[in-house]
Amino acid sequence: MGELQWGYRRPASRGGGLKKPACWGRDLRILLIITGGIAAYKTPELIRQFRRAGIEVATVLTEAAKAFVTPMTISSVSQGKVYSELFNLTDEQEMGHIKLGRQADLIVVAPATADFMARLALGLANDLATTTCLATTQPILLAPAMNVRMWEYPATQGHLATLQARGVRLVGPNEGDMACGEYGLGRMAEPAEIFAAAQQLLQPEKGLQGLHALVTAGPTQEPLDAVRYLANRSSGRQGYAIAEALAAAGARVTMVTGPTNLSTPAGVVRHNVTTAQEMLQASLAALPADIAICAAAVSDWRLADPNPQQKWKREQHQSMTLNLAANPDILASLAQHPQRPSLLIGFGLETENLQENAIQKRAKKGCDWLLANLESAKFSPFGNYENEIVLVNRDGVHAWPRMTKPAIAAKLTAEILTWRKSQP
């Protein structure tokens, strides 16, 4: 078989055409695996975006995917051969499934169904798509797409955690209307989002190399008795996404996190804490840092006299009055510290008057930037895969559209890169 057939790149001419960005050096190659979900209809546009950027594309179409998009369609758009069969004698004469994975710079699976994710997590190799992924040493980017109940099912989340722990990257899923008529999390990310995520993996900007970033994430838990605690509904997703984005941009990242069920992002040093006082101590111990981002949802109060040895008995306490004491303000403490980071960024949650309160909070805390979001009956960032924020800095208030938390992390990292370039 020799060299695998990658998508044809039409040479640039006076009349236009595809031209590889000069900064990318040699030709880049994507292996796009299309699995059997209705979102497969979006893949021709994704292929077009790759080809317009001068990226060569090879495609693997699973048998189930052929029910949604035809090999002829994919071949026409990619201008290359479509691979489907694991035991094709012509392709496998020189171990085609090995070359497919290793000649690519990145493998993108879009859509990635619950079935495909499960088989990949379990290490099954019963078709060309899974075999290629298991045989590769290149990065893998999944764009999940499935019904919201399938996405939330414990087995699916377990497989996802396994894949992420192995370094598999994720883009999406998004929240919205689904083909089945339901609404929720499970829509495949749009082609532009997948392209942007792939581009970041192919050509990550390492503009933060040489900098140390401190990130706080997750909730804190303040003990009341031996089994109960005071906390909030933070999932930690935003802080973890920020830590991952900063590490991808070349920073040395220390993450101090409260209790979560999330896997440690690649390249991040993780310190687990429980209470706000422990988070403050761990954060100060991580100094000096060039950048600090306080994304944790820290409890403002703790019980003044907790009883961690015994459980309160209901029959002994028909009513109770709790004596609460204020917790330390980690963001303000970092702002006043002799080793204050050069760029100090805080998060703030409001229930009303978002912009006004955010401006006041930034001034009160003494941070450089403040990212504020709103908790309301219509939308809550807690436990959500999306967020909607305003950025407050010395230039004013900048409203960002609602985005997934990884997208917000990427946008924030881009702002930090701009900040670094402005430094003397």
Average model confidence (pLDDT) for the chain? 83
pLDDT tier, 263 (very low <50, low <70, confident <90, very high otherwise): confident
Residues belonging to the active site? 180
List, for residues 17-62, the tens digit of each pLDDT value: 333 443 333 478 889 999 998 999 999 999 998 888 788 888 999 9
Domain identity same for 52 and 161: yes
Whether residue 205 is predicted with pLDDT greater than 70 in this model: the reply is no
| Residue 309 belongs to some domain of the structure | no
| Residue 17 belongs to some domain of the structure | no
Domain that holds residue 337: 212-302+319-422
Domain identity same for 186 and 283: no
List, for residues 131-168, the tens digit of each pLDDT value: 889 888 888 999 999 988 899 899 998 998 888 878 88
pLDDT value of residue 155:
92
Domain identity same for 276 and 184: no
**In contact, 325 and 301? CB cutoff 8 Å:** yes
List, for residues 69-82, the tens digit of each pLDDT value: 999 999 888 888 88
**Taking the complete model, does pTM exceed 0.95, yes or no?**
no
Produce one character per residue of 253-292: b if its CB has 16 or more CB atoms within 10 Å, e if not.
bbbbbbebebbbbeebebbebbbbebbbbbbeebbebbbb
SS3 call for 208 = coil
CATH assignment of the domain containing 417: 3.40.50.10300
Whether residue 224 is predicted with pLDDT greater than 50 in this model: the reply is yes
| Residue 328 belongs to some domain of the structure | yes
Domain identity same for 196 and 220: no
CA distance 59 to 61: 6
Domain identity same for 130 and 92: yes
Does residue 288 have a cis bond before it (omega within 30 degrees)? yes
| Residue 3 belongs to some domain of the structure | no
CA distance 166 to 163: 5
The domain total for the chain is 2
pLDDT value of residue 221:
93
Q: Average pLDDT in the 226-254 region?
A: 88
Q: What angle do CA 221, 340, 415 make, to 5 degrees?
A: 85
Domain identity same for 94 and 158: yes
pLDDT tier, 4 (very low <50, low <70, confident <90, very high otherwise): low
| Residue 124 belongs to some domain of the structure | yes
List, for residues 378-412, the tens digit of each pLDDT value: 666 666 667 788 999 998 999 888 877 888 888 89
